Structure 1
C-alpha cells in the first residue's frame, strides 16, 4: 500500500513539474506570410507540423469556398455577378465548375421567390437590373432541368411574353430588377452565346 502511495506521490510531483515547465518549453507553430514560424521548444523537425498546418489552412479555405449564399431543399446556391455583361453560357459553366458546382436549376415558384432578394443584392452599382444564367434549357416548348428532365413551373416566374418560341433560344436565365414591383423581370430563354452579368451555381 505504501508503495502505491509513493508512486502516486511521485506521479503527482512529476505532473506538477511538467505542467509548470510546459508553457516555457511548448512549441507553437503557425504560418506567417506563407512561412512556417515556430516559437518555443521545437525539437521535432520531421515536417509533420507544416503538413498539419497546410492541411488545416486548405480545409478552412475549402470550407469558406463551399459556403452557401442560399440553401433550398438541402441544395447549396452561390451566384457570381459582374458589373459588365460578358458571361455567355459556356463561361457560366466554367465559373460554376471552378466552385465545384454547375449552373443551377430553379425547381419551383417558392425556390424562385427565395432567390430573388439574394440576386437583387448582387446588382452592381449603376445598374437597374441584372441577367443571370441558370442551368435550365427550353427546347420544343418544354422547360428542362440541367439533367434533361422536363419540369413545369408557375407562369408568373417567366418574363412577360416569355418563353420565346425561337428554336435557338435554348438556354434559360433570369432578369432581376432592383424594383421588386417591376413587372419586367423573370425567367427568359436566350441564345447560349448571349452575354449576361453572371450565373447562379448549384454547389
Structure 2
C-alpha cells in the first residue's frame, strides 16, 4: 500500500512539472486557440475551455485543470486499491471447513492430508517416545557399560543420559525392555542421568532440578550408608520372582548392562 501511494504522489508531481515545462504533452495538449485537452485515468480526453484570459491567468487555469485531472486519477487508483484489498481479504472456498461447494456450485472433493510426524516413524534413536522426546538404549558389544562410556555414547547421538519424568514414562520403559530383550528369567538394569543427594535425601533430574517421580527398587533404597552412592540406576525384572522394578542409588563407578539416552526430536536428523 505504501508503494502505491508513493507512486501516486510521484505521478502527481511529475504531471505538474511536465505541464510547466511543456504545454504540448499527453496531459496538456492544445486543442484550438482557447482550449486544452487532458487525458483522464480512464483514457478519455477532457477538453477545457480557457476563454479569453491574460497570459498569467491562463497558465494558472491550466495548472488548476491539471490538478483536477490528477485528483481524478488518484480517486480511480484509490478505487482500484480498495477493490484489490477486498479481493485479497475475501476467504477462499476452502477456508471454511463447512463449505462443500466452490463459487460455481461444484462440489469440492475432500483434501487428502497426511499429518507430519514430530519424529521419524522408523528411527533407531527413538525406541521410546515421551513428552516430545526420544529415548534409546546404548550398550557395549561385550561386557557392562560404565558412566563415562554411557555419556560418550549418548553425546554421539546428540543426546544426554536420560531423565525419567513420571509414572507413565517409567511404564513405557518397562514395556519396551520386556518386549525387546531376551527373557532369560533375569533382569535388566541400566544407567540414567538422575542423581541422588545423600544429605538431603532427594533425587534430581539431569541438570539439578528435583525429580517429581521416584520409584525405589525396594525398601532397602535409597542406600544412605555410603555418601558416594550418588548415581541412579534402574532395574526391570523379567520375572516377578526377582523383585520389583525401580530405582536404586549406587557409586559413579558402578556398571550396568546398558544406559538410557534422551534425544530431543530436533537433533534426530543429525543422527541418521
Bigger strand fraction: 1
Residue in 1 aligned with 2:229?
Answer: 169
Q: Distance in 1 between matches of 2:190 and 2:127?
A: 15
Deviations 1:83-136 (A, max 9, x none): 765211111101111211111000111211111011233434656112100000
Q: Distance in 1 between matches of 2:185 and 2:142?
A: 9
Q: Distance in 1 between matches of 2:252 and 2:180?
A: 22
Higher alpha-carbon deviation: 176-185 or 134-143: 176-185
Tell me how many residue pairs correspond in the alignment: 140
Residue in 2 aligned with 1:25?
Answer: none
Deviation at 1:75, TM superposition (A): 1.0
Conservation of the 8 A alpha-carbon contact between 1:85 and 1:195: no
Residue in 2 aligned with 1:19?
Answer: none
Residue in 2 aligned with 1:111?
Answer: 169
Find the residue that maps to 1:121 and give its secondary structure: helix
User: Whose Rg is larger?
Assistant: 2
Q: Higher relative contact order by CA 8 Å / sep ≥ 6: 1 or 2?
A: 1
Q: Distance in 1 between matches of 2:223 and 2:186?
A: 23
TM-score (norm. length: structure 2): 0.46
Higher alpha-carbon deviation: 129-138 or 119-128: 119-128
Residue in 2 aligned with 1:149?
Answer: 209
1:187 is aligned to 2:261: no
After TM superposition, the structure 1 = structure 2 runs for residues 125-140 of structure 1, keeping only pairs within 5 Å, are 126=184, 128-139=186-197, 140=199
TM-score (norm. length: structure 1): 0.61
Residue in 2 aligned with 1:54?
Answer: none
